[in-house]
Amino acid sequence: MNPILKKLFGGYSRRELKRIQPVCNAVLELEGKYKAMSDEELKAQTPALRQRLANGETLEGILPDAFAVCREASDRVLGMRHFPVQVLGGIVLHQGRIAEMKTGEGKTLVATLPAYLNGLAGKGVHIVTVNDYLARRDSEWMGKVYRFLGLSVGLIVHDLDSGARKKAYAADVTYGTNNEFGFDYLRDNMVIYKEDKVQRGHPYAIVDEVDSILIDEARTPLIISGPGDKSTEMYTVADRFAKTLKCVKVAELNDKEDNDQLYNGADYIVDEKAKTATLTQSGVKKTEAFFKLKNLTDAENLPIQHYVNQAIKARGVMRKDIDYVVKDGQVIIVDEFTGRLMYGRRYNEGLHQAIEAKEGVKVARESKTLATITFQNYFRMYDKLSGMTGTAMTEEAEFREIYKLDVVEIPTNKPMIRKDLPDVVYKTEKAKFNAVIDDIIAHHKTGQPVLVGTISIEKSEELSALLHRRGIRHAVLNAKFHEKEAQIIAQAGRRGAVTIATNMAGRGTDIVLGGNPEYMAKAEMRKQGVQEELIPEADAFSETNNAQILKTRRLFRSLEEKYRGQT
């Protein structure tokens, strides 16, 4: 829209917010009514609202009461009452749209409003996060509100059996990652009997960091594979041959040039932009000599071509500690979007086997695809789809075209005070890293917590080594240490803390200034052998005479005070 017209008539978001403001006002006007209720009276609103739905009322009809009930419960259980702008965000999500909310505006809390409302229908609500850490954190943290109000909460993470998954999907609100939801759908399509399915349909999804999942990863295929029957010996042979070849890397190949002539002496050329590796005429001749072939391009030699092409790609394109890591004798893919290890996922077309040969670990058999779907096609199956992120307006056209979703920009609760400083450019990487270290030390001396973002495991470890030399204590959060992720993040906000992270600690990660004494107290309780089922009861609000639960709560309070004193 023309900037002058936008100023005169207001943009799309402003008009849409004006249209739903009366609904928001209706929610806010009910605050006094529910504030005056006892805990038992407030909990009784859930069956009452469900009865209204059973009597024929719509979700829109009960929205003001449901949002107001959830808002009051959140204040009692979490000590957080949704701000008016968060209520607006909740309405936008319920309507099956995308709410753009700036970083730190409480998107996690916003999702409780439409999740509670739609959860009342009993068909299930899926809240989709970008990683297991966030799914677990949000299901425990926001789950307190749903459980207080009598809704069940499920969690889908890696390594659950089908029984546990089915139980989690049967809950009113289910948290999980885009990968887990997608793979469960694929597995459901492979079962023989209907009762063996774990999902019960796709009525409503709230996608956190929606631009990352629905746009950046839209065409990423989820693939379930079965073992193939080909021998793996040739991957080792091809890798042994690839090791002898001379590689030249270029930023981008020009198809109009004679690259063989231009890069004379190279056996294969790596195009870093396209992520391809191509044999030159010199490389072809060496391949023919090594494998005793007359003509590599003959049809019967296609398998040899395949093995060699994957071997040079494994050596020239795929980078250890950036694209993958080697752990416990296995090659594990690092997700390029989240920086996390993707257990159980393998590169296709023999590339994974070529990397295994390169790294000297056991080469597994090639796999064949049994079922596949892209995130784009999976999420378009939902009857109602909504999402939230801090950066959606830039992809507004794609959201409208592909998913028929519009984007509504939600204003901040208070004026923005964060300073976004301009980029600083250095001539060399060494100069840049030295400046980064000096900046870290300067802020560290004042006691200010510092978070350093890096693009790869390799870079995070380089910075870590430089900090060690300067005697600065710090924590490193990358895919190699993902088991410690929750603990590192819980302490990253403490006074004087320095944390180096890859994009694992990117989207959706909340670092609490002063540290997170609640997390540390629960971690200490686990170390002391407190039963896992008692941990959620440690800070629950339900009345009980159970001696074990009361003892657990006393222990939690004492440990929380201990860690609060250390912040």
pLDDT at residue 8, rounded to an integer? 42
Do the Cβ atoms of 30 and 50 come closer than 8 Å? no
- Residue with the bigger pLDDT between 366 and 323: it is 323
- Rounded Cα distance between 235 and 487, Å, is 40
* Residue 6 clears pLDDT 80, i.e. is over it: no
Q: In this predicted model, what pLDDT tens digit does every residue of 57-83 receive, in sequence order?
A: 999 999 999 999 999 999 999 999 999
pLDDT at residue 2, rounded to an integer? 47
pLDDT band at residue 506 using 50, 70 and 90 as cut-offs: low
Tokens of 486: 């929750």
**Tally of CA atoms within 13 A in the half-sphere of 377 that contains its CB:** 10
pLDDT at residue 251, rounded to an integer? 86
pLDDT at residue 346, rounded to an integer? 84
Report CA-CA distances (Å) from 507 to 159, 210, 337, 502, 533: 23, 10, 10, 11, 29
The share of the chain scoring above pLDDT 70, in percent, equals 93
Q: In this predicted model, what pLDDT tens digit does every residue of 184-221 receive, in sequence order?
A: 999 999 999 999 999 999 999 999 989 888 988 888 88
The share of the chain scoring above pLDDT 90, in percent, equals 59
Residue from 120, 114, 155, 117 nearest 138 by CA: 155
Q: Which residue has the tokens 């300073």?
A: 419
Could you tell me the pTM of the whole model?
Answer: 0.77
pLDDT band at residue 353 using 50, 70 and 90 as cut-offs: very high
Task: Kindly give the residue spans of alpha helices, DSSP state H, lying in 446-497.
Answer: 457-469, 485-491
pLDDT at residue 230, rounded to an integer? 66
pLDDT at residue 58, rounded to an integer? 96
* Residue 154 clears pLDDT 90, i.e. is over it: yes
- Rounded Cα distance between 151 and 134, Å, is 20
Residue from 140, 135, 124, 223 nearest 178 by CA: 135
pLDDT band at residue 7 using 50, 70 and 90 as cut-offs: very low
Q: For residue 477, list its beta bridge partners.
A: 501
**Distance spanning both ends of the chain, measured CA to CA:** 49
* Residue 394 clears pLDDT 70, i.e. is over it: yes
- Residue with the bigger pLDDT between 443 and 336: it is 443
pLDDT, averaged across the chain: 88
Report CA-CA distances (Å) from 298 to 233, 278, 294, 455: 22, 17, 9, 42
What is the mean predicted confidence (pLDDT) over 464-471? 93
pLDDT band at residue 504 using 50, 70 and 90 as cut-offs: low
Report CA-CA distances (Å) from 492 to 88, 109, 451, 564: 31, 21, 7, 14
**Tally of CA atoms within 13 A in the half-sphere of 110 that contains its CB:** 32
| Reduced DSSP (H G I as helix, E B as strand, rest coil) percent helix, strand, coil of the chain, to 5 | 50, 15, 35
* Residue 540 clears pLDDT 70, i.e. is over it: no
- Rounded Cα distance between 335 and 296, Å, is 35
Q: Where is mean pLDDT largest: 26-30, 127-131, 216-220, 494-498?
A: 26-30
Residue from 97, 89, 30, 38 nearest 64 by CA: 30
pLDDT at residue 1, rounded to an integer? 46
* Residue 5 clears pLDDT 60, i.e. is over it: no
SS (H, E, C) 251-283: CCCCCCCCHHHHCCCCCEEEECCCCEEEECHHH
* Residue 33 clears pLDDT 50, i.e. is over it: yes
- Rounded Cα distance between 339 and 360, Å, is 24
Rounded to the nearest 10°, the torsion over CA 425, 429, 435, 441 is: 140
Q: For residue 278, list its beta bridge partners.
A: 269
* Residue 234 clears pLDDT 80, i.e. is over it: yes
What is the mean predicted confidence (pLDDT) over 394-399? 89
Q: In this predicted model, what pLDDT tens digit does every residue of 521-539 receive, in sequence order?
A: 887 888 888 887 777 777 7
* Residue 290 clears pLDDT 50, i.e. is over it: yes
- The least confident of 25-29, 180-184, 253-257, 507-511 is 507-511
pLDDT band at residue 509 using 50, 70 and 90 as cut-offs: low
pLDDT band at residue 343 using 50, 70 and 90 as cut-offs: confident
Task: Kindly give the residue spans of alpha helices, DSSP state H, lying in 79-122.
Answer: 84-94, 107-110, 112-119
Report CA-CA distances (Å) from 377 to 219, 374, 402: 9, 5, 10
Q: In this predicted model, what pLDDT tens digit does every residue of 407-447 receive, in sequence order?
A: 999 999 988 888 888 999 999 999 999 999 999 999 999 99
pLDDT at residue 9, rounded to an integer? 40
pLDDT at residue 104, rounded to an integer? 83
